[in-house]
Amino acid sequence: MFSHSNKTTSKTKLVQLTLNEGIQLSVEHIVEKAELASSTGTGQVNVLATSAMISIMEKTCVDLIASGMPEGCDSVSAEMNVKHLNPVKEGDTIICRAHLKFIDINKLFFDVVVLDTKHNTIGLGAHERFVVEHDQFLSQL
């Protein structure tokens, strides 16, 4: 596992990632009732909740890097900076685009945008994930 400070100890495993900076993924998603602010308890309006949009963004980043994750490893969310700019309603199709911008040893940095089908920006953000080795990560809990 990697520590957040990037200090290597005798217990730290350096994992070889098979990921390249610059890779991208676009995913279409239809907004569901459970993702509305009125359903999540974050508001009374029937529009996509910011928390649901963030979840879609994170999932797209995870899907982007899935094939490059070594066996026994995963990535965990460390930071998310997001702006939710425009509403969308239940049944609307949105497109989430994730771009792996930078890799720093075990830290992965993404740019993410959510668009509607007319290419209006619904939300955008920067996301950071850490690559961890399952067993060692869980042993710290």
Reported as a single tens digit per residue, the pLDDT across 22-67 is: 999 999 999 999 999 999 999 999 999 999 999 999 999 999 999 9
pLDDT of res. 23: 97
Query: Is the distance from CB of 92 to CB of 112 less than 8 angstroms?
Result: no
Residue 109 CB contacts under 8 Å (≥ 6 apart), including other chains: 100, 101, 102, 103, 126, 127, 128
pTM, two decimals, is 0.88
CA end-to-end span of the chain: 13
- What is the rounded average pLDDT for all residues in the chain? 90
Integer Cα distance of 105 and 95 in angstroms:
29
* Burial of 104 per CB tally in 10 Å (0-12, 13-18, 19+): exposed
Class of domain 24-139: alpha beta
